[in-house]
Amino acid sequence: MPRRARIDAPGCLHHIICRGIERRKVFRDDTDRHRFVERLGKVLSSTETSCYAWALIPNHFHLLLKTGNAPIAAVMRRLLTGYAVTFNRRHRRCGRLFQNRYKSILCQEDAYLLELVRYIHLNPVRARLVKDLKALNKYPYSGHSAIMGKRVVPWQDTDTVLRQFGSGKGASRKKYLSFVEKGLSQGRRSDLIGGGMVRSAGGWGVVKMMRKLKVHLKGDERILGDSEFVESVLVRAEEDMERKYKYQAKGYDLDTVIKRAAEAFEMAEEEITEPGKHPVRVQARSVAAYWAVRHLSISGVEVGKMKHRGRLLVYKFLCYPICGMECSCHAKPESMLLGHFIM
Provide the pLDDT for residue 101.
Answer: 79
| Contacts for 103 with CB less than 8 Å, ≥ 6 apart | 16, 17, 18, 193
Whether the pLDDT of residue 168 is over 60: the answer is yes
| Greatest pairwise CA separation for the chain in angstroms | 66
- Pick the range with the lowest mean pLDDT from 160-169, 267-276, 310-319: 310-319
Query: pLDDT higher for 205 or 269?
Result: 269
Q: How many CA atoms lie within 13 A of 252 on its CB side?
A: 26
Whether the pLDDT of residue 174 is over 90: the answer is yes
Whether the pLDDT of residue 41 is over 50: the answer is yes
Provide the pLDDT for residue 343.
Answer: 47
Mean residue pLDDT of the chain comes to 75
Quick one: average pLDDT of 268-293? 79
What percentage of the chain carries pLDDT values higher than 90?
Answer: 40
Quick one: average pLDDT of 246-274? 77
Q: How confident is the model at residue 338 (pLDDT cuts 50, 70, 90)?
A: very low
* Contact between residue 98 and residue 84 where contact means Cβ atoms under 8 Å apart: yes
* Residue 63 φ/ψ, nearest 5 degrees: -135, 145
Q: All domains of the chain, ordered by start, with CATH?
A: 13-189 (3.30.70.1290), 204-241 (no CATH), 250-336 (1.10.1750.10)
Provide the pLDDT for residue 269.
Answer: 82
Query: pLDDT higher for 37 or 335?
Result: 37
d(CA 98, CA 94): 12
Query: pLDDT higher for 191 or 326?
Result: 191
- Pick the range with the lowest mean pLDDT from 34-38, 110-114, 334-338: 334-338
Whether the pLDDT of residue 54 is over 70: the answer is yes
Whether the pLDDT of residue 136 is over 90: the answer is yes
Provide the pLDDT for residue 316.
Answer: 34
Collapsing DSSP to helix, strand or coil, 52 comes out as: strand
* Contact between residue 305 and residue 298 where contact means Cβ atoms under 8 Å apart: no
Provide the pLDDT for residue 244.
Answer: 57
Provide the pLDDT for residue 25.
Answer: 96
Quick one: average pLDDT of 318-332? 36
d(CA 43, CA 179): 30
Query: pLDDT higher for 304 or 133?
Result: 133
Whether the pLDDT of residue 71 is over 80: the answer is yes
- The model's pLDDT over 176-211, given as tens digits with 9 standing for 90+, comes to 999 999 998 876 656 666 544 344 444 434 444 444
Collapsing DSSP to helix, strand or coil, 253 comes out as: coil
| Contacts for 40 with CB less than 8 Å, ≥ 6 apart | 51, 54, 63, 79, 155
Quick one: average pLDDT of 22-35? 95
| Contacts for 98 with CB less than 8 Å, ≥ 6 apart | 18, 19, 20, 21, 26, 80, 84
Provide the pLDDT for residue 186.
Answer: 76
* Contact between residue 18 and residue 102 where contact means Cβ atoms under 8 Å apart: yes
Provide the pLDDT for residue 144.
Answer: 97
- The model's pLDDT over 224-239, given as tens digits with 9 standing for 90+, comes to 654 454 455 445 544 4
Provide the pLDDT for residue 203.
Answer: 47
Whether the pLDDT of residue 48 is over 70: the answer is yes
* DSSP-H helix ranges across 203-336: 204-212, 227-249, 254-264, 269-273, 279-296, 300-305, 333-336
Provide the pLDDT for residue 83.
Answer: 97
C-alpha distances in Å from residue 316, one per residue of 7, 159, 235, 310: 26, 33, 34, 17
d(CA 60, CA 22): 11
Quick one: average pLDDT of 321-327? 35
* Residue 265 φ/ψ, nearest 5 degrees: -100, 5
Whether the pLDDT of residue 281 is over 90: the answer is no
d(CA 83, CA 62): 15
